[in-house]
């Protein structure tokens, strides 16, 4: 997850977090993030398969901001049962 100007959170998947974050910072990533600097990488996790990553991304995008903030603070461990 990336925090951008105004405290908004962006969620996405990639196989190379550092490369993708650099693209976002250079304005070459998602259109949503353009003009919303400064950007801060606030959460990342290794999921394993692309399929699982896409499922987690879709699920996270449906969650409330306070729920996402809890994940940023405490990680995914407290919600592992929800992900099964």
Q: Which domain holds residue 59?
A: 2-83
Q: What is the mean pLDDT of the segment spanning 5-10?
A: 94
Mean pLDDT of the chain: 90
The count of structural domains within the chain is 1
Residues 39 and 21 sit within 8 Å (Cβ to Cβ)? yes
pLDDT tens digit sequence for 21-56: 999 999 998 889 998 999 999 999 998 899 989 999
Nearest-5° Cα angle at 51, 49 to 53: 70
């Amino acid at each position: 997850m990336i925090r951008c100007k105004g405290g908004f959170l962006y969620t996405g998947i990639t196989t190379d977090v550092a490369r993708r974050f650099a693209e976002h910072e250079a304005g070459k990533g998602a259109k949503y993030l353009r003009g919303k600097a400064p950007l801060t990488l606030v959460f990342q996790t290794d999921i394993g398969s692309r399929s699982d990553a896409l499922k987690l991304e879709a699920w996270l995008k449906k969650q409330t901001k306070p729920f996402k903030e809890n994940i940023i603070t405490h990680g995914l461990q407290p919600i592992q049962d929800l992900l099964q």
